[in-house]
A and B are shown apart, each in its own frame.
Chain A
Amino acid sequence: MDATTLQVISIAFVLMTALLVYTARYQQGRRGRRRNWRRMPALERLPGWTARSIEADKPLHCAFGGAAIGGEHTAAACASAEFFHHVIAGAQQSDSAPIVSTAAATTLPLAQDNLRRAWEGNALSRAQWYPTGERSLAYAAGLTAALQDSDEPAAHLLAGSFGPELALLLDAADRRGQGSLAVSDQLEGQAVAYAMADAVLIGEELFAAPAYVSEEGRAGIDAAALDAWRGLLILFLALLLLFNLARALAPQNWLIIVLGGAALLLLAAVLSRRG
Chain B
Amino acid sequence: MGFLQRLGSAFSAIIAFLVGVITLVSLLLGGNPGLFGDLPQAADLAALLALPAAVLLRLVALVIALGVLIGIANLLLTHAQRLMRGRALSAALLGSFALTLFWYVARAGDTSLLEAVQLPIESSLAALLCLTLVGGAARVIAKRADIWSLLFVLSLLIVLLASLPWAELEPLRAWRDWLLRVPVSAGTRALLLGIALATVVAGVRIALGQDRAYRG
Contact = CB atoms under 8 A, between A and B. Distances in A.
Contact of A164 (B72, B82, B133, B201): B133
Contacts of B90: 146
Interface stretch (B27-35, B105-113, B168-176): B27-35
Interface residues of A, number: 77
Interface in B175-194: 188, 190-194
Interface in A210-241: 218, 221-222, 225-226, 229-230, 233
Contacts of B163: none
Given A105-B68, A110-B213, A2 B122 contact: no
Interface of A is mostly: helix
Interface in B95-142: 122, 125-126, 128-129, 132-133, 135-137, 139-140
A168 B128 contact: yes
A184 to B, nearest CB: 10
B94 to A, nearest CB: 13
A239 B32 CA distance: 32
Interface string B69-88: 11110110110011000010
Interface residues of B, number: 61
A25 B72 CA distance: 39
Interface string B41-72: 00000000000000000001101100111111
B208 A170 contact: no
A248 B157 CA distance: 36
B91 interface: no
Nearest to B57: A70
B152 interface: yes
A162 to B, nearest CB: 12
B202 A207 contact: yes
Interface in B138-164: 139-140, 143, 152
A138 B136 contact: no
Contact of A108 (B34, B70, B140, B194): B70
A206 B198 CA distance: 9
A204 B198 contact: yes
B89 A167 contact: no
Contact of A21 (B64, B81, B204): B204
Interface stretch (A55-63, A123-131, A255-263, A264-272): A123-131
Given A25-B210, A78-B206, A109-B70, A203 B28 contact: no
Contacts of B81: 126
B202 A222 contact: yes
B132 A13 contact: no
B35 A7 contact: yes
B7 interface: no
Interface string A102-141: 0011101110010001000000001111111000011011
Given A14-B28, A168-B128, A206-B198, A190 B191 contact: yes
A242 interface: no
A22 B207 CA distance: 12
Given A70-B60, A128-B74, A187-B188, A75 B202 contact: yes
A165 interface: yes
A132 B71 contact: yes
B35 A229 contact: no
A165 B125 CA distance: 9
A196 interface: yes
B191 A137 contact: no
B205 interface: yes
Given A4-B35, A68-B64, A145-B89, A192 B136 contact: yes
28 contacts: A21-B201, A21-B208, A22-B208, A69-B67, A75-B199, A105-B71, A106-B70, A108-B71, A109-B70, A128-B75, A129-B71, A132-B71, A140-B125, A141-B125, A164-B129, A187-B192, A192-B136, A196-B136, A196-B139, A196-B140, A208-B198, A221-B205, A222-B198, A222-B205, A229-B201, A230-B197, A233-B193, A233-B197
Interface of A: 2-4, 7-8, 10-11, 13-14, 17-18, 20-22, 25, 68-72, 74-76, 78-79, 81-82, 85, 104-106, 108-110, 113, 117, 126-132, 137-138, 140-141, 145-146, 150, 164-165, 167-168, 170-171, 185, 187, 190, 192, 194-196, 202-204, 206-208, 218, 221-222, 225-226, 229-230, 233
Given A17-B200, A70-B61, A128-B78, 8 more contacts: A85-B212, A105-B74, A106-B63, A137-B129, A167-B133, A185-B195, A187-B188, A203-B190
Closest 3 CB pairs of A and B: A105-B71, A204-B194, A207-B198
